[in-house]
Structure 1
Amino acid sequence: MNESVIKALNLLDFFLEEKKELTLSEIAKKSNLSKPTLFRLLSSLEVTGFLTKTKNTQQDVRYRLGIKLLELGNMVSEQLELRTVALPLMRKLCTDINEAVHLVILDGDNAVYIEKVESNHAVRLYTRVGKRSELYIGSGPKLLLAYMPEALQKAVLEKMKFTKLTPNTIENKETLYNEINNIKKQGYSISFSEQDQETIGISYPIKDYTQNVVAALTISGPNSRMQEIIEEISKKTKEAARSISLQLGYPEKY
């Protein structure tokens, strides 16, 4: 555990009180830290954008919360809204098809499963909220990779390394490029036994008011159940993704 990081982040709590700007002396009094230690921590928070420093005079230097916190707060707010909007429709979709329904978003170079509704089948795939996945594995992560802004997608692909989990796992960039192009042409993503043997995954994009893809709505289950009704599952998943997108403000034409 990094004590310096914890001390620095704890300083932000002082700005949640009534005063929105604080001097070094005021923060020192609240934190019981020496001024040299405090100055070092505040400088780190300033460099990373968590605090902004205003220097009125040599003696009058004040700190206030930085724009980075607003950016992070907006991201958290959007994710909470996404989950709030998506969950009822995910539950309905799960009731209709009786297979696991996932909500998957980007987090840096990975995909993260942020919501899940489980089927009532005795045989289930092991997934969990918080699970992280490489972007070349599975229908949801591949879909998010396909709809990334081009510059970001290129940067992610350049440093991507491949690990073979099953015989069907994509193992090189050429194959992945082809897969990305197919996903964008057809408007959805599908995977066959890429993470686990004898499984199928189907994903459709969720878009918000900015008309960008913010998540993947993903269905996954064993071949034995999904293969015969894959077209029905695909249709209903597409409809659910569209409904979620419309509630997030995507234009009605979607």
Structure 2
Amino acid sequence: MIAAEEGHRKQRRAGWIRFWPLLAAAAAVTVVFALDLHRLLSFEALAAHRGTLLAWVEAHGPLAAGAFVLTYAAATALSLPGGTVLTLAGGFLFGIPAGTACSVIGGTLGAVAVFLAARTALGGALRRRAGPSLDRFAEGFRRDAFSYLLVLRLVPLFPFWLVNLVPAFLGVRLGTYAAATAIGIVPGTLAFASAGAGLGTVFEAGETPDAGILLRPGVLLPLLGLAALALVPILYRRLKAGRSAP
């Protein structure tokens, strides 16, 4: 009897422990908004402090790039608004190649943190509650997870935070998730970093950059084309399976 009660207590403690990443994230978000730190991730803040930021980047180089990556990762992990501003800032502060690389690394690290937290805290419980219906869907998604995730990352119609969470609930492997995320966000990040590289002119004119750059036909259509290419392996396997079926 005592052994059974001790076992139940250990299970309850283990149950609470798996929620610590989400609790820590919730506490961090509360602190960020309580101190108005989220206002620093705005175009107005970037415009106001651009001289200081440029001087700091010039003086510290790799250290500044590392700080930017960590800031981007934290903002992504906490699902804070401001990802667009950060990507523009990357192009403005570091140039197009380095700004794109820093944003991709930071965005991928933050997305992986969300994925691991959600999988640890909720993934198994959600799959058990959903039952066979989710299992069948998850199995199909996992079979072509890389291609599906690549499409979700390429097409700018799906909220980034949502795409961070869903694969965790469907049992996608970490390596597949990280690779598809890193590759899939490159085109959009490159577009924003390119726009960010020209922010000096925008600042001088007192204007606001176009945050809808990904919806321009010249940007959106190539992204949709890449998404269609990402679906080709799935269609090929489906056709091959259909032909081989009796």
Q: TM-score, normalized by length of structure 1?
A: 0.25
Could you say which structure has the larger radius of gyration?
Answer: 1
Higher helix share: 2
Q: TM-score, normalized by length of structure 2?
A: 0.25
Higher strand share: 1
Higher relative contact order (CA 8 A, sep 6+): 2
